Amino acid sequence: MFYTWKEFCRWLNVTLFEFWMFLLATICFTFLLALKIENPFNILEIIGIKSSSSLNWWHIFFPYFLNDALASYFNIIIFIRQYHIGKIRQAFIRLVFVTARLAMLCVVKVFLIYKLENRLAVNFSEIFLPLFFLLFILICRSFRI
């Protein structure tokens, strides 16, 4: 049995707009990652970057960080609108869950960048630990639906 868009968005506590922003960020990330690893047709030299080593991991993960910032801004707007309508409890619960989700994903990205730059000497299981907490929160939320 598959989830409908409405059930999917309710379970993950994301809107369709946030999902499309994430999809666009993933496409941009994939394009930048391919430029970093392969540099087909010397595209980096055409646009003025001397080598793929000058394109660091912070540049490659920038679409995801921009997506997190825009999603945070969007969710603050949703919080303010729900608060003014009178859905105060629902607004605070949504704000807490969304902030926790975005914070955990951001921490994973930062840890992953440090690991890829060899600044952090930890296992990948320790890097992805916030994702396990995020999965636990999603499991708890699934009982509320």
Q: How sure is the predictor about 43, in pLDDT bands with cuts at 50, 70 and 90?
A: low
Q: How sure is the predictor about 71, in pLDDT bands with cuts at 50, 70 and 90?
A: very high
Residue ranges covered by each domain of the chain: 5-144
Q: Write out the two tokens for 61.
A: 């993960």
Q: How sure is the predictor about 121, in pLDDT bands with cuts at 50, 70 and 90?
A: confident
